[in-house]
Amino acid sequence: MIADINEEGAKATADKIAQDENTLVVKMNVASQDDWKQTVEATLGKWGRVDTVVNNAGTSYPNKVRGNVIQLRSWEDGN
């Protein structure tokens, strides 16, 4: 599973690292709750489960994240 707001970039990454046709590419904005829902549904539809999630979007929330929990409003606002 490769999810990125830049779908063409995600496809290029998949082409570089995929060793078979079992790679799923999804256009996703990590700040969008709807995109998260659609990405999880696509993942469950393909594999039936989610094993690991790595959010490497390059955004930080200083002093906002406590115990790996962030409020949805803060996530959506980018604060």
For the segment 14-58, what is each residue's pLDDT rounded down to a tens digit?
A: 888 877 778 899 999 988 889 999 999 999 999 999 998 887 776
Instruction: Identify whether the C-beta of residue 44 lies closer than 8 Å to the C-beta of residue 25.
Output: no
* C-alpha separations of 55 from 20, 30, 42, 58, 73 in Å: 23, 8, 17, 8, 17
**What pLDDT does residue 6 have?**
92
Model pLDDT, residue 63: 52
Which domain, by its residues, includes 40?
Answer: 2-77
Q: How far is CA 39 from CA 3, 11, 43, 64, 79, in A?
A: 8, 15, 6, 25, 23
Residue-level pLDDT at 27? 94
**64 band by pLDDT with thresholds 50, 70 and 90:** low
Assessment of whether the complete model's pTM goes beyond 0.85:
no
Q: How many domains does the chain have?
A: 1
The predicted pLDDT at position 25 comes to 92
Measured CA angle at 36 (ends 58, 8), to 5 deg: 60
